[in-house]
Structure 1
């Protein structure tokens, strides 16, 4: 049974179910052990602290340990890779069902994930849409490409079109210029979505986290805070008005005074690792705004 970590914030109103990205980079197995320690555990804790914390102003945050698919499963398309992802998803689904049993029936739910975590949550939203009906504040499926016509209809949800809309999906993938997202598009375009339709580049969802709406652009003055870590990733400082953003053909292009966030910018100027950190203050404000709208709907 997957274990979970409760980040206690007992006075809050909602409950957040957060699924962390891939942190198991070893090559010795397809799936991480549930009790993986060392570097994988430290990476997982860092993502929980830096990403799930954006929601602790309005909710308790639950972060399950799960037998995540190892990094290599995303480099291959064979049957073993597919089985590894299915195993990881079954753990996330079991953890979610256990999480839901602990929540009062009238408590609003926020779903949040990153990368592999968002992939699993996209499947979960399709499989548990009835259980979430009327309770979902929003789903933050960040760092994983989603199709508006091939994925979202299977979830019974739409892309967030307004900053005060509830029961909708937000998703973005951050790149600086000159951006080269070809590694993402080559692996994703032409694959089958959750409803069986073929995914197309022009249908990729991009939410601007500075506006809380699909597509569009926003000046860096609207950014409520980028989470800038120290050299050891032990502490971080929230620095507002550093980074602006605009959606461009499915990807979020960042601009402005981009700070040194660490050594993990990926090829193609891909700021994948920092998708939440770039906009941490605005994500926090977004969750607060949507919860307020949910309460008065």
Structure 2
């Protein structure tokens, strides 16, 4: 057996749920997963008790050693070097890998990124792709360098976006895509069958981190843009507006074409409320509210919301 055919010693670095499927695929492969690196436990829930990351939970369930350094300083790098990894696989880890770490494994460090690079470098590629109305997304597996998702790409796996794609559904589909391809990609890299191609300068875009303040709906925007915002921000931070002074979370909505309704009104005005649900005027077109939620209540359909006394002529959003 040649060295390229031998099982690799792999260190996996990741933190959120998105990183779990690829971890499981590598753990089930012939390669040796010698350790998992993940973010330190963070306070969560009402009691603000420290909670392990999804990746830590998955690793412990498989008896894989877990390391949680606050930073990859000299001490942490010494521990990592002692693991003698051939390769480090990174998926949404949350810490920047300094040059000494990038150079430590024999085959370097590779990253599973949730976009078709160079489109949507950065923290929130899944949501920004939906928000922008992209027809496709996918994952890129790249050789890491010191830049922000700037390394040369080893492989791309595209995925068409569904018309009703949400941040949650695309998250799950891309995580599954990473699981499906990471082992084959690692095998091909070890055998020298992959060539890293530099990212083109054209088409670079940045997916800035989601901010809860972005959840507020601006009814002056076109209906199709608001629909994309609603889908992109489900399940977090969830698009919202105000109704009768209360926060109204919008979990699902649909932009209607002009032929769907002849009703019109000023931005934010409810133009119809009844058995077919609630229709709201926007800066261009109408938005049908399909699933909404009031504080302390369960999410309900637009028709059920209409039955709670919603009246045509009311306006959604903060008072002018």
Which TM-score applies when normalising by structure 2? 0.32
Q: Which has the higher helix share?
A: 1
Higher relative contact order (CA 8 A, sep 6+): 1
Q: Which has the higher strand share?
A: 2
Higher Cα Rg, which structure: 2
Which TM-score applies when normalising by structure 1? 0.34
